[in-house]
Amino acid sequence: MTFNPLIASDSPRDLVVKGVNTLTVRDVVVGEVWLASGQSNMEWILSYVASKPEIASTSFPLIRQFKTAKTPANDPAFTVEGAWAPALPATAGQFSAVAYYFALDLHRRLKVPVGILNSSWGGSGIDPWIATDACRTTPELARAFANHEKFPRPTAGEKAAYEALLQTWEKARDAAKAARQPFNEPAPKAPRGTASYRTITALNNGMIAPLAPYALRGAIWYQGESNTSQASGYALRLTALVNGFRAQFDQPHLPVYWVQLPNFDHGNRNSDTWHWAELREAQTKALATPHTGQAVTIDVGEPKGLHPKNKKPVGERLALLALARTYAMKGVIDSGPVFKSATREGSAYRVAYEPSPSSLQAAPAGLSGFELAGADQVFHPATARIDGATVVVTSPAVTSPVAVRYAYRNAPVAGLFNAAGLPAAPFRTDTWPAPAPAKVSPPLPEA
């Protein structure tokens, strides 16, 4: 059934379909709908990060979330389990925190209902979220996808037998939990070839494809933590993800805005100091894809925490991108300083930023984060000062600099902002390979 464009709701309505019989769907609203996808930092729910009083006072019945069930699939599905819930005290705690704060800002500024289709899965890489056709047409992904297609699939009988075993195991587990008894029985193994949250295209097949052709206004994306060791291929994957979404929802210019990874320090788990910086760099490169944008968050992460709790500015910065670029709202500053060029001036570098109505400003703790290197490719902390729309960078340890970097570390301290309070994105002018890590990183823990 296809409807002509409808006026946004100011209150719920009934949808009545009449034919041989009459079908009434109650509590329907018309408004802006956004897809929210990614891994755990998108999945993390509001009750993990907000206070009980904040959740108890939530009363936004025109903000709603549809949470898709975690459903990997080997082939594109047509249906997925899930239900709409309004942002009220009994339900808001289960909203994606990032998506909730994003939707809240849009709702307040646009004065219309906002719906979120929340399809996220903690620990997932980007490949499972890329659409089948996008994998086939992206040369760097085509071989891996072709190998996946050749892999044997479980038969209907194997699936049924596994589901029966799993159901029996889950009942026994739940009974033991209810009785407060230990339960050490291992879960049954899935048949060979069963799709999982690690399988290429599987999450798109099971959790994105069934949502199409929903009339989306756009998509927000928070993922990358699971791909930091493969940062060199992330930009093309992110582009493939965007192109896949646009083809699935038949919107060639669908806006897609993502979160650039926050600052995070592996600590004792890894002596490497570059993987997260490289992933951020790849995210910035993917901005070459039209109708995309990124929210920079190196100032709101928790260097020792993989899941920063300060999700409010993350959602709000994504909302700024939508308000300025999708809704063309005047006067909205949607980005911090954007790197334009760097020019050598004797023993200094002058870093220029794109013209902006919001002037450059240093953080209260100072203009930290800049580094210079000479021909030896060794970077040293630098002193920086703002000069109009440029930053002049010097270091007594580097009298003949050949490269400049800003915030190019796993856990940089953000020092440069604009007057709107938005941080500058990391950049580097060199293309030197990162030093080899002392040991291989273990998998990151996920929620």
Domain of residue 126, CATH code: 3.40.50.1110
pLDDT at 239 over 80: yes
Q: Which two tokens stand for residue 114?
A: 């906002």
> By C-alpha distance, which of 294, 269, 303 is closest to 409?
303
**Does 378 share its domain with 234?**
no
b/e map 339-349, b = 16+ CB within 10 Å: beebeeeeebb
- pLDDT bracket for residue 272 (50, 70, 90): low
Question: Does residue 315 sit in the same domain as residue 343?
Answer: no
Q: Do both 308 and 398 map to the same domain? A: no
Q: How far is CA 209 from CA 15, 32, 69, 154, 187, in A?
A: 25, 19, 13, 21, 29
My answer on whether 207 and 78 are in the same domain is yes
- List Cβ neighbours of 221 (8 Å cut-off, separation of 6 or more): 36, 37, 38, 42, 241, 256, 257, 258, 259
* Residue 282 is assigned to a structural domain of this protein: yes
Number of structural domains found in the chain: 2
Same-domain pairing of 35 and 74: yes
CB distance 80 to 208 below 8 Å: no
Residue 311 to residue 363: CA distance in whole angstroms: 20
**Rounded mean pLDDT of the chain?**
93
Query: Is there a single domain that holds both residue 344 and residue 394?
Result: yes
Whether 439 is covered by a domain: the verdict is: no
Is 292 domain-assigned?
Answer: yes
283 located within any domain: yes
Looking at per-residue confidence, does 361 or 266 come out higher?
Answer: 361
Q: Is residue 175 domain-resident? A: no
Tell me: do 403 and 303 sit in the same domain.
Answer: no
Q: Is 101 exposed, middle or buried (0-12, 13-18, 19+ CB in 10 A)?
A: buried
d(CA 317, CA 422): 8
For residue 440, what pLDDT band results from cuts at 50, 70 and 90? Answer: very low
Residue 2 lies in a domain: no
Tell me which residue of 115, 117, 118, 102 sits closest to 9, measured CA to CA: 115
Distances (CA, A) of 241 to 17, 62, 200: 36, 29, 12
Quick one: pLDDT band at residue 393, thresholds 50, 70, 90? very high
Q: Looking at the structure, do residues 39 and 109 belong to the same domain, yes or no?
A: yes
Residues 284 and 374 in one domain: no
Residue pair 341/352 in contact by the 8 Å Cβ criterion: yes
Is 355 part of any domain? Answer: yes
What range does the domain containing 280 cover?
A: 30-146+196-326
Q: At residue 182, does pLDDT exceed 50?
A: yes
- Residue 341 CB-half CA count within 13 A: 4
For residues 76 and 209, membership in a common domain is answered with yes
Looking at the structure, do residues 318 and 395 belong to the same domain, yes or no? Answer: no
Q: Are residues 246 and 295 in the same domain?
A: yes
DSSP per-residue string spanning 193-252: T---TTSTTHHHHHHTGGGTT---SEEEEE--GGGGGGGGGHHHHHHHHHHHHHHHTT-T
Residue 160 is assigned to a structural domain of this protein: no
Per-residue pLDDT, averaged over 251-276, amounts to 83
pLDDT for residue 273: 67
Confidence of residue 339 (pLDDT cuts 50, 70, 90): very high
